[in-house]
């Protein structure tokens, strides 16, 4: 009887527990010099064919990788876990991955978890190329998740991406926690985390130092929760740019909570092109934010028109409504701490400013609000509406 039970338990455990594959068994060398791309793809093909949950193990060491595409569309459906104790390193020559959209790409997966891992894209030489004004590839995003659901990313570090660090596009139910992003403050287009066309996304306990937006939120984002983030250097947390296209999905239900901005160009921002568009941004909450020497701590800019191209004398069609700014305090690096520059055609409505205290050079910061309606509550310095 007992042996039958043991046998039963054994079969039960072995059929439910994950099958584990180590990249070393597939020929990957942890020396940072031997190209491990083929070995990683071989692991993926084997994992893909399994009908049990799988764990792909990347042990300590450095693994040199060209671009990788973990595409679940032809796999047996199952949860996939990547446990990464080591570092993934892109080729030193930026041209090898520089024309790819993504360096490490996950798509068409339902249930994918990435634990740990240092993703070192070695982007500095591409930034130098871009800064010199030469003809350079646009660069690969370091990590992309597309058309996937039930995604967890925990304890991952992204270093020196060529372009964006992490992109979530067309996904549902995504949790990012304990992610670290690190790139130089003057590195071009290195957004930390970009979310678009996705629903139910959370970003917790994250530290982002980079050369562009810490978090950028694109059209079609619905249900995004950002909490406990340290941002800086960088361009802040930004909804937009919205309204680049005339037909565009809106952004709704976004909470940004307990964020510290240090030396960033902007704090919390909503930005739209000065062009007609069907898009919108509504039900947005910015709460409990600390600003340390931030260029534009609170900013709605609906007159975005870089180099005055493709939008002169036009106004934004993006409707912004029900936006809360609550408990936001600290120091502004410019005179105007609160700027709400809304569309004359679609004025902002339902703005709430509550308990805002911003100083500029030890004096109250100034404000500038146009085409913005709503209410003010609590202590306000400056007031604006």
Ligand X SMILES: *[C@@H]1O[C@H](CO)[C@@H](O)[C@H](O)[C@H]1NC(C)=O
Q: Which residues bind ligand X (CB under 6 A)?
A: 200, 223-225, 253
Active-site choice (165, 194, 235, 371): 235
Nearer to ligand X among residue 228 and residue 253 (C-beta): 253
Tokens 């700014």 correspond to 325
Spatial distance between the Cα atoms of 370 and 238, rounded to a whole number of angstroms? 20
Closest to 202 measured CA to CA, from 222, 181, 230: 222
Whether residue 235 lies in the annotated active site: yes
Nearer to ligand X among residue 63 and residue 280 (C-beta): 280
Contacts of 352 (CB under 8 A, 6+ apart): 323, 324, 325, 326, 374, 375, 376, 377
Helices assigned H by DSSP within the chain: 2-16, 37-49, 124-131
Omega before 329 cis (within 30°)? no
Least distance from ligand X to the Cβ atom of residue 225, Å: 4
Nearer to ligand X among residue 252 and residue 272 (C-beta): 252
Least distance from ligand X to the Cβ atom of residue 174, Å: 10
Quick one: DSSP state of residue 189? Answer: T
Parallel, antiparallel, or unpaired for β 157-159 and 19-22? unpaired
Least distance from ligand X to the Cβ atom of residue 280, Å: 15
Nearer to ligand X among residue 39 and residue 201 (C-beta): 201
Least distance from ligand X to the Cβ atom of residue 252, Å: 8
Least distance from ligand X to the Cβ atom of residue 283, Å: 7
Nearer to ligand X among residue 65 and residue 224 (C-beta): 224
Pair of tokens at residue 362: 């030890």
Nearer to ligand X among residue 136 and residue 284 (C-beta): 284
Quick one: DSSP state of residue 178? Answer: S
Spatial distance between the Cα atoms of 74 and 45, rounded to a whole number of angstroms? 10
Nearer to ligand X among residue 239 and residue 291 (C-beta): 239
Omega before 139 cis (within 30°)? no
Least distance from ligand X to the Cβ atom of residue 254, Å: 8
Phi/psi at 192 (5° precision): -70, -65
Least distance from ligand X to the Cβ atom of residue 89, Å: 34
DSSP characters over 99-157: TSSEEEEEES-EEEEEEEEEEE--THHHHHHHHTT-------EEEEEES-EEEEEES-E
Give whole-number Cα distances, 290 to 35, 221, 328, in Å: 44, 25, 6
Q: Give the active site residues.
A: 235
């Amino acid at each position: 009887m007992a042996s039958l039970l043991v046998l039963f338990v054994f079969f039960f455990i072995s059929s439910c527990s994950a099958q584990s594959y180590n990249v070393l068994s597939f020929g990957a060398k942890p020396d940072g010099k031997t190209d491990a791309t083929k070995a990683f793809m071989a692991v993926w093909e084997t994992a893909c064919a399994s009908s049990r949950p799988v764990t792909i193990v990347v042990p300590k060491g450095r693994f040199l990788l060209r671009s990788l595409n973990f595409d679940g569309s032809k796999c047996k459906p199952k949860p996939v876990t990547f446990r990464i104790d080591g570092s993934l390193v892109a080729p030193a020559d930026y041209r090898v991955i520089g024309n790819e959209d993504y360096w490490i790409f996950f798509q068409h997966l339902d249930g994918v978890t990435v634990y740990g891992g240092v993703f070192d894209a070695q982007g500095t030489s591409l930034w130098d190329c871009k800064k010199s004004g030469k003809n350079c590839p646009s660069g690969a995003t370091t990590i992309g998740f597309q058309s996937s659901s039930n995604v967890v990313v925990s304890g991952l570090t992204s270093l020196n991406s060529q372009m964006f660090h992490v992109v979530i596009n067309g996904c549902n139910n995504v949790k990012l926690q304990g992610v670290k992003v690190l790139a130089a403050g003057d590195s071009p287009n290195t957004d930390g985390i970009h979310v678009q066309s996705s629903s139910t996304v959370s970003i917790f306990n994250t530290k982002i130092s980079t050369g562009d937006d810490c978090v950028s939120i694109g059209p079609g984002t619905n249900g995004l929760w950002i909490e406990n983030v340290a941002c800086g250097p960088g361009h802040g947390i930004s909804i937009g740019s919205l309204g680049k296209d005339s037909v565009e999905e809106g952004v709704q239900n976004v909470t940004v909570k307990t964020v510290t901005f240090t030396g960033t160009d902007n704090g919390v921002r909503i930005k739209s092109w000065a062009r007609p568009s069907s898009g919108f941004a509504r039900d947005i909450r910015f709460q409990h934010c600390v600003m340390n020497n931030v260029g534009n701590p609170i900013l709605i800019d609906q007159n975005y028109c870089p180099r005055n191209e493709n939008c002169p004398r036009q106004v934004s069609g993006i409707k912004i409504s029900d936006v809360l700014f609550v408990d936001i305090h600290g120091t502004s690096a410019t005179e105007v701490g609160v700027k709400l520059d809304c569309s004359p055609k679609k004025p902002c409505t339902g703005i709430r400013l509550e308990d805002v205290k911003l100083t500029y050079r030890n004096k109250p910061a100034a404000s500038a609000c146009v085409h913005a309606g709503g209410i003010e509550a609590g202590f306000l310095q400056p007031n604006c509406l």
